[in-house]
Amino acid sequence: HIPPLSISGLCVLVLLKTAVFQNTKDSQCRRRGCPQNAICINKTHCACEDGFVTTSGEKYFSDFLEICDDVNECVPPIKIFCGMNADCVNTYGSYHCTCIPGYALPSGEKNFPNASMNNCQVFISCYQLKNLSYKLQSFIAINTNWTAENKRRIAIEVTELLQNLEQTAWQDALRSPVKKWMLLNNSRVGEFICAVAFLSYSSLQTIINASFFIERPEKSNGIYMLSQVVSIAVGSHQNQPSSLSVLLTFQHIQVGMNHRSLCVYWEAQGEEGGAWSTKNCNLIESNKTHTRCNCTHLSSFAVLMDLQQQDEDYVLTVITYVGLSLSLLCLFLAILTFLLCHTIQNTSTSLHLQLSLCLFLANLLFLIGIKQTKIKVLCSIIAGLLHYFYLASFTWLLLEGLHLFLTARNLMVANYSRVNHSLRKVMYPLGYGIPAVIVAISAASRANLYGTSSQCWLQTQEGFLWAFLGPVCIIFSINFVFILLIIWILQNKAKDPSFPRTLTQLCILGCTWCLGILQIGPAARIMRYLFTIINSLQGVFIFLVYCLLNHQVQEQYKKWFKTLRPTKSESFMLSSKVVSEPGRKHQKIKSFLWAGKICS
C-alpha cells in the first residue's frame, strides 16, 4: 500500500525526468545541427527545405554531411508552365514567372507566381514606337508615287503603328489609374482598375487620307478628310473589350463647307494592311463645325466629307419634292373622282380610294414633317405616323394584288359575289389593323429609335429599320407571286380589252419597289434615281391608270366638262336673259350653276 502523498511525488518525479530527456535531445539537435538549406524534423532527422533536394534523393536523413541542392523547377521533369507569352525563371530555392520580351503586365509588375496570374500583353517601348514612326515617315518621303503597292505598304505600317500606340497608351493608363471605382451595367459597385486611353494624331489624316476609303474607291476625288484621326482603348487588367458603343464628337478641320459627313474607322485587313470603313459607325448629327458619331467597336476613327454625295442628295431632294407635290395633286383629284363618281363604285374603287388616301397622307406628312428634327418628341411622332401610313399604303397595295388575282380567276361577279362581299368585310380591318399592330409593337419596344438627327424616320440601330423593311419585303414577295399567277392566268385571255390595263396595274404593284431593292453594286446610283423618280410619281400613275385610262371615268369627266362649259346657244340665251332682265341677274346664274348633275 502506497500512501497518496507518495503517488503524487512519483508523478512529479516522472515529469521532471521526461523534461530533462527532451531538453537533452533538443540541445543535441541544436548542437549537431542540420546541413545548409535543411531543417530538423522530430529532433532526430533532417529534411531539405522547399526548393531543395538531397543528392542521395532521400527525403529525410540523419547524415549531417548530406547536401541539399537547389531544384530547377523550370526544366523537366517539373517544368512549371507559366501560361502564354511567359517564361519560368529559376531562382535559388524557388522560381517565378515573367513575360517574354515584347510583353508586360498591365499593372507594371515584373514577376508573377503562376499561370493563373498571367496577364501578359503586348508591350511596345517608346524606342520601338519611334522606330515604327520613323520607318513610316521615311517610306512616305522616298515614295512620292502612290501606287497600289505603295499604298498597301503604307496601310500595313499605319495599322501596326495604330495598334501598338493604342496598346501602349492603354497600358500606361492602367499603371497610373486616377479612380479605382466604377459603376457596372448591373448597378453594382466593385473595385476595379479600368483605364480609358484616348489619342489624337495631329497630321495622320494627311497620310491615310480619303483615298483609303474602300467603299467608294472609284470616286475618292470627291471625298476628303474632315477631322483628325483619334484612337480609343478601354479595358481593365482582366479584360479589354473588342466591342463597345462609343460616342465621339469631332471638330472639323475645314469649316463652312456644304457636305455630307461620313463616320469611319480604320479597319485592319490582314495582308492588305487596312482602310477606312463605315461599318458599325453611324452619323448622329453634323453641322458646319462639328460631327457626332456613334460606333459599336474600339479602333481609330475619323470623319470624311463627301461633296459628290451632297450634290447627288440635293438633286434627289429636288426630284423628290417636285415629284411628291405633283403626286399630291394627282392623288387629290383621284380621291375626288373615287368619291364623287358613283358609276364606278365597287370593291375595286374602294381599294383604290383607301390606297390613294394613305399615300396622300404619307406624302403630305413627308413633305411638311420629315425635317422637323428640332423637337425630339414631335419628330418621333412624325416618324411613327410616317411608319404607319407607309405600311398602310403597302397593306392596301397587297389587297390590290389579292383583288386583281381574284378578278383574273373570275371569282368576282359584279357586287353580288360572295367572295366580293367577304373581301369588303375584312379589307378595312386588314388594311388599317395590320400596320397599326406593327407600329404599336415597334413603338412599345423601341420608342427611342423613332426619329434621327437629320430626319424624322426610323433609326438603323439595332436593326430597327426592319420594322418597316420586313413587312415591305413580305408584301413585295406576295405581290410578286400574284403577278406571276395573274400573267399565267391571263395568257389565254389576251383578247380581253382589260388586259393592258391590268398589266399596268401590276407594274404599280411591283416594279417600283424592285428598283428600291436593287440599289446595290455599280448600278446603285442609276437605280436610286429611277426609284426616286418613279416612287415620287406613284400618285400620278394611280390617277393615270385608275382614272384617265378608265372608260367610265372618261365619260363622267366629259359630262362634268359639258356641265361646267355651256354651249354657244345656251350662252347666248343666258346672256339675253341677263341683259333683258337685269333685276334677276344673280338668280339666273345661281340657277344655272345648280342645274347640272355632278355624277349620273
Domains of the chain, by residue range, sit at 20-70, 86-122, 126-307, 349-517, 560-593
Chain position carrying cell 429609335: 449
Q: Which helix (H) or strand (E) holds 527?
A: helix 524-536
What's the burial of 269, exposed, middle or buried (CB within 10 Å: 0-12/13-18/19+)? middle
What mean pLDDT comes out for the span 387-409? 86
**Cα(422)–Cα(416) distance, integer angstroms:** 10
Closest to 415 in 3D by CA, of 342, 339, 356, 358? 342
CA terminus-to-terminus distance, the chain: 149
Average pLDDT, the chain: 74
Which pLDDT score is estimated for 586?
42
Where on the phi/psi map is residue 75: left (φ > 0), alpha (ψ -120 to 50), or beta? beta
Q: Is 291 left (phi over 0), alpha (psi -120 to 50) or beta?
A: beta
CB 68 within 8 A of CB 38: yes
- In this predicted structure, what is the pLDDT of residue 549? 80
Task: Report, as an integer, the average pLDDT of 249-272.
Answer: 81
DSSP string, 196-245: EEEEEESSGGGTS-GGGBTTSGGGGGGEEE-S-EEEEEEEESS---S---
pLDDT at 115 over 80: yes
Looking at residue 184, its pLDDT comes to: 43
What pLDDT is recorded for position 183? 45
CATH class of 126-307: mainly beta
Residue 151's pLDDT is 79
Examine the pLDDT at 142 and tell me if it is beyond 60: no
Q: What 3-state DSSP class applies to 358?
A: helix
Flag whether pLDDT at 118 surpasses 80.
Answer: yes
Q: Averaged over 460-464, what is the pLDDT?
A: 79
Nearest Cα neighbor of 483 from 571, 408, 577, 579 is 408
Q: Is the pTM here over 0.85, yes or no?
A: no
As a whole number, mean pLDDT of residues 306-323 equals 74
For domain 86-122, the CATH superfamily is Laminin (2.10.25.10)
Cβ(39)–Cβ(49) under 8 Å? yes
Q: Could you read off the pLDDT of 194-253 as tens digits, one per residue?
A: 677 788 888 888 888 888 887 655 455 678 888 999 988 876 655 555 567 888 999 988
For the ranges 14-23, 69-78, 307-316, the one whose mean pLDDT is highest: 69-78
Q: What is the CATH number assigned to the segment(s) 349-517? A: 1.20.1070.10
The pLDDT score that the predictor gives to residue 82 is: 92
Which of 41-50, 193-202, 352-361 shows the lowest mean pLDDT across its residues? Answer: 193-202
Distances (CA, A) of 384 to 354, 444, 450, 454, 467: 19, 11, 7, 16, 11
- State mean pLDDT over 480-507: 65
pLDDT for residue 542 is more than 70? yes
pLDDT at 5: 41
CATH number for the domain formed by residue range(s) 20-70: 2.10.25.10
* Cβ pair 516, 469 in contact under 8 A: no
Residue percentage of the chain with pLDDT more than 90: 14
- Long-range CB contacts (within 8 A, 24+) of 547-556: 547/333, 547/334, 547/337, 549/501, 549/504, 550/344, 550/501, 552/341, 552/343, 552/344, 553/337, 553/341, 553/344, 555/343, 556/337, 556/341, 556/343, 556/344, 556/599, 556/600
**pLDDT over 70 percentage in the chain:** 68
Q: What confidence score (pLDDT) does residue 472 get?
A: 86
Judge whether residue 449 has pLDDT over 80: yes
And the C-alpha cell for 197?
A: 486611353
Mean pLDDT of 11-19: 36
Rounded distance, CA 260 to CA 306, Å? 5
Check for a shared fold between 20-70 and 86-122.
yes
Measured in degrees and rounded to the nearest 5, phi and psi for residue 35 equal -65, 175
Report which of residues 350 and 177 the model is more confident about. Answer: 350
Half-sphere exposure (CA, 13 Å, Cβ side) for 391?
26
Hey, CA dihedral for 400, 405, 408, 412, is it positive or negative? negative
What is the structure's pLDDT at 561? 79
Residue of higher predicted confidence among 578 and 381 = 381
Give alpha helix (H) positions in 537-565.
538-543, 551-564
Here the cell at position 500 is: 393592258
Cis peptide before 76 (omega within 30 of 0): no
| Residue 360 scores a pLDDT above 70 | yes
The DSSP letter of residue 458 is: B
Report residue 80 as a C-alpha cell: 512549371
User: Does the structure show a pLDDT above 90 at 258?
Assistant: no
pLDDT of res. 374 = 78
Note the pLDDT of residue 497.
52
Better-predicted residue by pLDDT, 451 or 328:
328
C-alpha cell at 551: 372608260
Cβ neighbours around 521 below 10 Å, total: 7
Residues constituting the chain: 600
435: left (phi over 0), alpha (psi -120 to 50) or beta: alpha
Q: pLDDT at residue 504 above 90? A: no
Query: Bigger pLDDT: 16 or 560?
Result: 560
**Residue 386: all three cell numbers together:** 410616317
